[in-house]
Amino acid sequence: MKTNRVKLIFVGGFLGAGKTTLLQQASALLAAGGRSVGLITNDQADALVDTHLLTKQNSMTREISGSCFCCNYEGFAGVLSELAGRHTAPDVIIAEPVGSCTDISATLLQPLKSQMQAVIELAPFTVLADPEKLERILDGDPADLHPSAAYIYRKQLEESDRILISKTDTIRPERLQVLTEKVKLAFPDHEVGTISARRGTGVKEWLDQVLQGTVSGSRIAAIDYDVYAEGEAVLGWLNASVLLQGTAVDWDRFLENYFHRLNALLGSPAGIGHIKILIEGMGDRYCIGNQTGAGHTLQFRNSAGISNIAQMTINARVEADPAALEQMVFAALAQSAEGGLFYEIRQCRSLRPGYPRPTHRYSHVVS
């Protein structure tokens, strides 16, 4: 068993900020450098796309579902202890909190510093922010979010040790430079960096910085829990798993058609926090679609190929009643089931997140 403490990196940020892509890139870089990595994902329900994706790359991936890390601190600490206590314990663990969560410093970082210093060493707490929403939030615009959801976005930035502007491949260099300066002005005591996880730009530099950093949870934000609770509750939350069967189906085209049908049903005013859909075809092939706002944010990557059977995992976080969201998700599926395509819903859970009730909440920074 290893006697050295495991480095623990938290990567936060609002829904669709690019956290999972960063975890994929970071774990691959660490593995290439000879370091073993554990990954911990988090969601209000199981059947999480992120866990499916990360498990393809890393067998030491764990999921905590049913509540956020902070409301299930004992569960999170138990997973940490299990990973760190393995005969082949990882050198680094990267944890990805729920994208609609904030107050991570008071409810997770401080308790961990107080209770698990013998086991883990915390890296600076990084929060990712996509440039489109970030720019609007800094200008006082809710960025197509409910005002209480925009409040969560701002609080995530406020409590972080390091702000990382993500998806820099989607913004012009001169605009990125101006945005970076605006972030530094708004948060003068924070470290600010930039990254394109999809292209790998800046990932190594960020990793070097957080692995060497020793200051974590350096500030605690003042959180109005009623506003926080409303910001989470405005989102309908749906996780579903579906078996698809047909004859020589082009799953990439199917996924694109499905997204367009779903968007038509949701309508343009819908406040989309994040829709992420994974289709796994034969031979470990897969495609994934991501949408983090209006239609222009929709992106596809990888290919599931052509085959007769596939597994579809749907994660949707939309400002809608959960029952209505579920109805639209499966109405779009029924519309897409043409040409002899059949589907079987294996699992589905739709909900509104409950009032956040963390296990611990420290009022002071633990040294």
For the stretch 142-162, pLDDT in tens is 998 999 999 999 999 999 999
> Would the pLDDT of 61 be above 60?
yes
State the span(s) of the chain assigned CATH 3.40.50.300: 6-232
The full 3-state SS of the chain, as one line of letters, equals: CCCCCEEEEEEEECCCCCHHHHHHHHHHHHHHCCCCEEEEEEECCCCCHHHHHHHHHCCCEEEEECCCCHHHHHHHHHHHHHHHCCCCCCCEEEECCCCCCCCHHHHHHHHHHHHCCCCEEECCCEEEECHHHHHHHHCCCCCCCCHHHHHHHHHHHHHCCEEEECCHHHCCHHHHHHHHHHHHHHCCCCEEEECECCCCECHHHHHHHHHHCCCCCCCCCCCCHHHHHHHHHCCEEEEEEEEEEEEEEEHHHHHHHHHHHHHHHHCCCCCEEEEEEEEECCCCCEEEEEECCCHHHCEEEEECCEEEEEEEEEEEEECCCHHHHHHHHHHHHHHHCCCCCEEEEEEEEEECCCCCCCCCCCCCCCC
Contact between residue 63 and residue 329 where contact means Cβ atoms under 8 Å apart: no
Amino acid at 257: N
> Would the pLDDT of 268 be above 80?
no
Query: Which pair of structure tokens corresponds to residue 18?
Result: 């690019």
Residue 156 vs residues 23, 137, 142, 149, 321: alpha-carbon distances, Å:
18, 12, 14, 11, 25
For the stretch 302-329, pLDDT in tens is 999 999 999 999 999 999 999 999 999 9
For the stretch 3-23, pLDDT in tens is 578 999 999 999 999 999 999
Q: What is the mean pLDDT of residues 182-189?
A: 97
User: Any idea which of 134-138, 277-281, 290-294 has the lowest mean pLDDT?
Assistant: 290-294
Sign of torsion over alpha carbons 40, 238, 282, 297: negative
For the stretch 222-248, pLDDT in tens is 999 999 999 999 999 999 999 999 999
Query: Which pair of structure tokens corresponds to residue 302?
Result: 């990888």
For the stretch 33-51, pLDDT in tens is 999 999 999 988 777 888 8
Question: If you search the block for the tokens 């615009």, which residue do you land on?
Answer: 141
CATH topology assigned to domain 6-232 = Rossmann fold (3.40.50)
Rounded distance between C-alpha atoms, residue 322 and residue 240, angstroms: 12
Query: Which pair of structure tokens corresponds to residue 127?
Result: 């929060």
pLDDT for position 3? 53
Give this prediction's pTM: 0.92
Q: How confident is the model at residue 296 (pLDDT cuts 50, 70, 90)?
A: confident
Rounded distance between C-alpha atoms, residue 116 and residue 74, angstroms: 12
Residue 33 makes CB contacts below 8 A (sequence gap 6+) with none
DSSP string, 165-192: E--GGGS-HHHHHHHHHHHHHHSTTSEE
CATH architecture observed for domain 236-351? 2-Layer Sandwich (3.30)
pLDDT for position 195? 96
- 3-state SS assignment for residue 216: coil
Q: What is the mean pLDDT of residues 112-123?
A: 94
- 3-state SS assignment for residue 363: coil
Q: How confident is the model at residue 98 (pLDDT cuts 50, 70, 90)?
A: very high
Q: What is the mean pLDDT of residues 109-122?
A: 95
State the span(s) of the chain assigned CATH 3.30.70: 236-351
pLDDT for position 1? 43
pLDDT for position 53? 85
> Would the pLDDT of 269 be above 70?
no
Share of the chain above pLDDT 90, in %: 83
Q: What is the mean pLDDT of residues 206-219?
A: 95
Rounded distance between C-alpha atoms, residue 363 and residue 367, angstroms: 13
